[in-house]
A = this chain, B = another copy of it.
Amino acid sequence: MTCSLKYAPQLRAQGLRMTPQRVAILHVLHQTGGHLSPTQVYELARKEHPSLTEPTVYRTLEELAERKFLLAAHVGSGRMVYELAENHNHHHLICRECRAEIQIEHAALEKLFGELETSSGYRFIDSHVTFFGLCPKCQKINKGD
């Protein structure tokens, strides 16, 4: 619980408030470590703060992602998941078949982002990206067909 409070000064610096709802939401994201869907966050955080509602979860996740406290990612299908941004800067590579997931270091994309900025005129390209492919295991299985 306390661990979530360390964000309080940073939130306030941006004109945001540290409410018990936000403490609960940050807490479950911290405890879980990985990424969670809004529904998962809602179910888990509700145990800590029973009066929590769904709109609050959605609005909070979106707000905190906008302010870079959280990373938002698509993991297929069109559903969003969120994770704490503090951990590190990475991207995702997910197997189309079995959903096995590995992380891509941000360094691997930095050069591309630089090139895109130069060629497009756009700036501050820092998207959190998810790639899809076939993992080694599923490559073998498909060969067997």
* Contact partner, A125, options B78, B79, B108, B131, Cβ 8 Å: B131
Chain A residue total in the interface (Cβ 8 A):
35
Provide the main secondary structure of the chain A interface.
Answer: mixed
Considering only CB atoms, which chain B residue lies closest to A125 in the complex?
Answer: B133
Q: How many copies of this chain?
A: 2
A126–B93 Cα gap in the complex (Å)?
11
Kindly state whether residue A102 has any CB partner on chain B within 8 Å: yes
Q: Are B108 and A131 in contact (CB under 8 A)?
A: no
Considering only CB atoms, which chain B residue lies closest to A74 in the complex?
Answer: B74
Kindly state whether residue A127 has any CB partner on chain B within 8 Å: yes
Interface pairs (9), CB distance under 8 Å: A74-B78, A93-B116, A104-B116, A108-B115, A121-B135, A122-B133, A123-B133, A125-B131, A129-B131
